[in-house]
Every structure is written in structure tokens, then in C-alpha cells.
Structure 1
């Protein structure tokens, strides 16, 4: 379960991505166009310390891009390469926003979703002392090929399309531009959203 706050972010997530995305080698979009949200899904961090959200965005008439984000209350050691920026959260204070592909907490959550079928986190707001569920903007599904996953470290990351994440469990591949099925090996995570007539592949996992 993801418990969300009705809060202001400065700068917003989309403002951060509007600055960061054009510098990625896999990005395609209209020059100067702002980044718009298409849909999103979240994973749970069992420790409850790291926010994990994947945004689907596009710039102008460009393709839909998948950008996993992690939100932390302090910098992640050794992850400067993956830092997208910082923002001020009106409830939680300063948050460090990372490209999730370089964050081992995201890698562990992604592996669980693909290989055990845990799916996405339910999203709830706390309003006047009671909790209200937020309807998801998309639905994802893994293939549930195993009951155990235990990613404890990321050994390498190749920042391409797909992004390839080497872990102590095996290799994860995260598609950056969504559309045609690349038919990569391994178990798949797929997702669908309003306006998308059939689920598309989002990521793959090949365990050791």
C-alpha cells in the first residue's frame, strides 16, 4: 500500500523531467515541449523508506516514455549519476529524486512484480483522519514464475533502451520507449491504460 500526501512539490516531478529527459540518449520528443503525464503506477518498499513510482510521459507528439522514479529523504550513496534532482515536499521536506534504474530498492520491487506477480501498490490518501483509495491510472501484470526473489544489490546499469540492470538475482530490462514488443527473453511485466487498447510490455526479468 502506498499512503500518499495531498502536498505541493517545488519543483514538480514533471518540471524535473522536462529538464532531465532531453539529456537522455533514448529520449524522443518535440524540442522545447513540456513533459505531460500519461499514466503512472507504484510499487511498495517493504521497509517503508523509499517512494517508488513509475511515470509514463510524453513530450508533444513524441512516444510514451517510461521513467521509474525513487523518492528518498536523504541522498543515496554512490548514486550521483542517477540523481534527477531535488524537490521540496510540503509535508515531508526535501526529497532526492532518482532514476529508479540506478536504485537497488526499485530493482528489488521490479523483480518481485515480474517474477512473483505482486503487482502494483494500492494508492491511498489520508483525509481528515480517514483513508480514501485512489483509483489507478493503469494496471500492470507480471508472470509469477517463482515465489521467491531477493535482490540485494545492483552490480551494473546500462542506460539505454532498454535500460539493463544487473543484480545479484539476475538481469532486469526496463523499456524506456513503449510501443512495439521487443520480444526480449525472460518473464514480462505488462501494462495498460486509458487510450491503450491492449497491454504493452514494460520490463523483463531473467533470473539466474
Structure 2
């Protein structure tokens, strides 16, 4: 479960992405047009310390991009390459925002979601001591053989960043689609998603064992 806060965040996530996305080789969008949120989904960090959210965004008439992010309360060691920026959160304080493809907590969560079918985290607010659930903005599903538990992901060994971003974590190989559209036909189990305006599920990521 993901506890959300009714908070002021400066700069906003989309403002961070407006500055960061144009420098990514896989980005395609109208020049000078700020990205707009299409949908999003979250995973749980079992330790409860790292926020894990994937945003689907579009800039103008460009394609829909998938941008996994992690939110941390301190810098991630040896991950400057993956830093999107920092924000000031009115409840949680300063947060370091990373491209999650370089964060092992995301790697472990994605592997678990696809290989064991844990799905997305339920999002909720606490209002006067009561839990107020927020409806998801998209649906995700996993297909392929199921495992009782996913192999451990303690660190990231290699990342090949591109239209298809390949992440090697020990015995697990993850591939994240940066631009969503046709099925890439990669081997392994798939994570797929659908949202308003996209009623047929499209591939989001692939996971295979090495």
C-alpha cells in the first residue's frame, strides 16, 4: 500500500520532467511543450522507505513515454547519473527523485510484480484516522510463469539505457519500454497496462531469468 499526502511539492514532478526529459536520447516530443500526465501506477517498497511511481507522460503530439521514478529521503550512493532532481515536499521534506531504472529498489519491485503477480500498490490517504482509497488511473497485469518468490535483487550490475532500457540485476534481466506502442516481442514474462483512451493492454516491461 502507498500512503499519499495532500502536500505542496516544489518543483512538481512534471516540472522536473520538463527539464530532464529533453536530454534523454529516447525522448520524442514537441519542442518546448511541457509534458502532461496520462496515467501512473505504483509499486510497494517492502521496507517502506522508497516511493516507487511510474508516470506515463506525453509532450504535445508526441508518443506516450514511460518514466519510472523513485523518491528517496537521502541521496542514493553512486547514482548521480540517474538523478532527475530534488523536490521540497511540505510533509516529507527534501526528496531526491531518481530515474528508477538505476535504483535497485525499483528493480526488485518490478521483478516481483511480474514474476509473482503482486500487482500495483493500492494508493490511499489518511483522513481523520480513516483510510481513503484513491482509484487507480490505469490497470496493470503480468503474464507468464509465476514464481512463489522473485529472485533477490540487491544491486544493479548493468544498465543499457535506450528506447528499450535493459537492466541486469544478478540472475534477473529487466527491460523497460520507454516509449509505449507495439509489442517488442522480447522473451520473458511481461507487464502490460491499459488506461483511459487505451483499452487494449500494451507492454510496459519484460522480465526474464538469466
TM-score interval for Structure 1 and Structure 2 normalised by the shorter chain: over 0.9
SS of the residue corresponding to residue 154 of structure 1 reads coil
CA distance in 2, matches of 1:130, 1:7: 18
CA distance in 2, matches of 1:71, 1:62: 26
CA distance in 1, matches of 2:47, 2:171: 19
CA distance in 1, matches of 2:121, 2:43: 5
Match of 1:191 in 2: 193
Maintained 8 Å contact 2:156/2:170? yes
CA distance in 1, matches of 2:93, 2:128: 21
Match of 1:89 in 2: 89
TM superposition outliers: structure 1 runs of 4+ over 3 Å:
none
CA distance in 2, matches of 1:82, 1:104: 12
**1:49-64 equivalence runs, <5 A:** 49-64=49-64
**1:42-53 equivalence runs, <5 A:** 42-53=42-53
Match of 1:79 in 2: 79
SS of the residue corresponding to residue 198 of structure 1 reads strand
Cα shift at 1:197 = 2.1
TM-score (structure 1 length as normaliser): 0.98
**1:23-172 equivalence runs, <5 A:** 23-143=23-143, 144-149=145-150, 150-172=152-174
Which of the numbers 191, 205, 208 marks the counterpart of 2:207?
Answer: 205
TM-score (structure 2 length as normaliser): 0.97
In the comparison of the two structures, how many residue pairs are matched?
Answer: 208
Extract unaligned runs of 5+ from structure 1. none
CA distance in 1, matches of 2:128, 2:91: 15
SS of the residue corresponding to residue 197 of structure 1 reads strand
